Structure 1
Amino acid sequence: MGSMLGIWILASLLIGMLGIHKRFGFWGFFFGSLVLSPIIGIIMLFSMEDNYIHTKASE
């Protein structure tokens, strides 16, 4: 039971780290995957775009 909880928390931390540049950020993805499920967190992570500003290079 304890190892399963540890894996759940580590997976949530990893998802949070991967979600730093997304809309919800680290804390949103961390708590979302911690409360719901790391699998739901991965689905949310891959369904959102990055927060980078896309600009056209001037010619």
Structure 2
Amino acid sequence: MEYVFIYVAASLFIALFGIDRKFGFWGYFFGSLLFSPVIGLFLLLASDKRKQED
């Protein structure tokens, strides 16, 4: 049971850093849940920041 908690917590942690990125919070959260938090981290590091709309 602890593994599930750690897995979801790691996915949430990655998603929080992904808020200002291309896929946003939910994209990185579900990507991390679907694949793994390690793959989600690689996606986060490889993505660009969102463009600011003026």
Report the aligned-residue RMSD: 0.8
- What is the TM-score normalised by the length of structure 1? 0.84
Displaced runs of 4+ in structure 1, greater than 6 A? Answer: none
Q: Runs of 5+ in structure 1 lacking a partner? A: 54-59
What is the CA-CA distance between 1:49 and the residue it aligns to?
Answer: 1.2
Q: Runs of 5+ in structure 2 lacking a partner? A: none
Q: Flag the structure with larger Rg.
A: 1
- What is the TM-score normalised by the length of structure 2? 0.91
Task: Give the structure with the higher percent helix.
Answer: 2
Aligned pair count?
52
